[in-house]
Amino acid sequence: MTVDDYTYKYMYKSMYKTINFIFFVFILIFFLSCKKSPDILFCEGLTTDGKGTDCGSVFTTGDLTAVIKRSKGFGSNSITVNVYQKRDNLKTKLESIDMEVKNTDTQANTNLSFYNEGIYQVEAKSGEVIFAEANITIKEE
């Protein structure tokens, strides 16, 4: 083996490791940048085609629309939306809303009223399976 052969093999291995590292970094960045959209959105209203307007997770007191999404359809004819108030690591159930939906529907909307400030958890379930949940913070003006 000559010096040129040894140098060539060393450079090839080094370049191969560098390319693999760069590829791994790109894959890692791709997966970390893909953020799952929330399954429950809290919005101040809806457009005519059913999309939420002025959505967020912090609001002042009042009425909001909860937009509940499920990518593969609800899979039943009804879903239940439960609203809990979270205080001192305890959840107190405030409201339970039964909604009629179609098996193949992927979105449902319901109106929620929040008149006391605090942190609330809203969960949507089909039967006993919770398929979506989100937290919302209500602040006084």
Q: What is the pTM of this model?
A: 0.69
> How does pLDDT run across 94-121, given as a tens digit for each residue?
999 999 998 888 889 999 998 889 999 9
Domain encompassing residue 9: 1-35
Query: Within this chain, do residues 91 and 114 fall inside the same structural domain, yes or no?
Result: yes
Q: State the number of CA atoms in the 13 A half-sphere of 18 facing the CB.
A: 6
Strands 52-56 and 90-100: unpaired
Q: From residue 108, give the alpha-carbon distance in Å to each of 35, 88, 114.
A: 22, 31, 19
**The residue type at 70:** R
Per DSSP, the three-state class of 18 is: helix
Q: Would you state the pLDDT for residue 4?
A: 60
Same domain, 21 and 88: no
Same domain, yes or no: 50 and 75:
yes
Higher pLDDT, 82 or 37: 82
59 and 115 both lie in a single domain? yes
> Are residues 111 and 87 located together in one domain of the fold?
yes
State phi, psi for 24 to the nearest 5 degrees: -60, -40
Residue pLDDT, tens place only, 53-85:
888 889 987 889 999 988 888 888 999 999 999
Domain shared by 51 and 117, yes or no: yes
